[in-house]
């Protein structure tokens, strides 16, 4: 029985020694007999880095899209097809409030569903006995996802309600894999705990969407410290001041493209 999880970092904002980087996220997750591509970045970089890593994406069981932003899903254009799991709200047209830049997916829902075997779910979806796609994540904390800089086409606020994550049940406890953390990292962990009934949190990895050292970052560090999480790997959209605060609080390494984590 496979008890260790293997995560290959195909796309991230930070470049490894021999691997290029871009603003985006893509991980290859191998656990519980499954090979899951979690997000695709914004270009074909994930494929090129997978090739360099000899990671072979040909036999992946499925692709999971964390949410409908270009930097997580535009790489879908470079996949031949296969199973795709995501929240039904991923396909909406959405923009950056500040300058009106389009930041939704490059492919429409019709294009995606004609190419992929698409399964959308706002409810938790069991991918294997030990891997769960969380679906819509309830926003319960008072310090996360209360503000947004994103807008829909009609100008109303976009809180990226389609933002989801994976909960993986390791022998040591839960391990959470987040795309961008728009739902809030604490909200995500709390929901994973609730639906699995497992309170022990072993770790978390991915985009935390924390930019500064203000309250959301401080409260997230406090929460993760209290849970006793052993592996805390903020990456992608976690910006420098927040990253530095996490590095100070936890004995962790910086995530870069080409990294392969096994634990």
* Positions in the binding site for Fe ion (CB under 5 A): 71, 180, 237
Min dist CB 23 to Fe ion, Å, is: 7
Which of 170/255 has CB closer to Fe ion? Answer: 255
Looking at the Cβ atoms of 240 and 262, the one nearer to Fe ion is 240
The closest of 258, 241, 216 to 14, measured between CA atoms, is 258
Cβ 32 to Fe ion, closest distance in Å? 26
**Counts for the chain of helices (H) and strands (E), in that order:** 6, 15
Shortest CB 169 distance to Fe ion, Å: 25
In the bound state with Fe ion, the residue whose beta carbon lies nearer, of 72 and 130, is 72
Q: Where are the beta strands (DSSP E) in the chain?
A: 6-11, 26-31, 34-38, 62-64, 82-86, 94-96, 116-120, 125-128, 131-133, 150-152, 165-170, 173-178, 201-207, 231-235, 260-262
What is the number of the residue whose Cβ is closest to Fe ion? 180
Q: Which is nearer to Fe ion, 22 or 71 (CB)?
A: 71
**Nearer to Fe ion by C-beta: 85 or 237?**
237
Minimum distance of Fe ion from residue 165's CB (angstroms)? 12
* Closest to 78 in 3D by CA, of 108, 100, 113, 48: 48
Residue 217 CB, shortest distance to Fe ion, in Å, is 17
CA gap 85, 48 in Å, rounded: 23
Q: How far is CA 8 from the centre of its chain?
A: 13
Q: At what angle do helices 240-249 and 215-227 cross, to 10 degrees?
A: 30
The least distance separating Fe ion from the CB of residue 96, rounded to whole angstroms, comes to 12
Kind of pairing between the strands at 62-64 and 34-38: parallel
- Alpha-helical (H) ranges within 4-102 are 45-52, 70-73
Beta carbon nearer to Fe ion, 135 or 206: 206
């Amino acid at each position: 029985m496979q008890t260790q999880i293997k995560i290959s970092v195909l796309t991230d904002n930070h470049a490894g020694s021999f691997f290029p980087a871009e603003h985006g996220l893509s991980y290859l997750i191998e656990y519980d007999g499954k090979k899951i591509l979690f997000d695709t970045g914004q270009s074909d970089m994930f494929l090129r880095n997978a090739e360099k890593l000899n990671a072979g994406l040909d036999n992946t069981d499925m692709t999971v899209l964390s949410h409908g932003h270009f930097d997580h899903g535009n790489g879908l254009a470079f996949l031949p097809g296969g199973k795709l799991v995501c929240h039904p709200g991923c396909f909406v047209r959405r923009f950056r409030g500040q300058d009106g830049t389009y930041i939704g997916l490059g492919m429409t829902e019709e294009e995606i569903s004609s190419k992929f075997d698409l399964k959308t779910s706002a409810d938790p979806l069991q991918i294997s006995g030990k891997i769960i796609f969380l679906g819509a994540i309830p926003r319960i904390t008072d310090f996360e996802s209360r503000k947004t800089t994103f807008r829909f086409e009609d100008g109303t606020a976009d809180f990226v309600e389609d933002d989801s994550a994976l909960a993986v049940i390791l022998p040591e406890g839960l391990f959470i894999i987040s795309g961008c953390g728009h739902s809030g990292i604490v909200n995500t962990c709390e929901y994973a705990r609730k639906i699995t009934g497992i309170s022990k949190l072993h770790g978390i990895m991915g985009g935390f969407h924390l930019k500064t050292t203000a309250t959301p970052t401080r409260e997230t560090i406090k929460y993760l410290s209290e849970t006793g999480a052993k592996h805390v790997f903020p990456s992608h959209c976690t910006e420098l001041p927040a990253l530095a605060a996490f590095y100070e609080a936890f004995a962790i390494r910086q995530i870069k493209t080409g990294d392969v984590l096994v634990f």
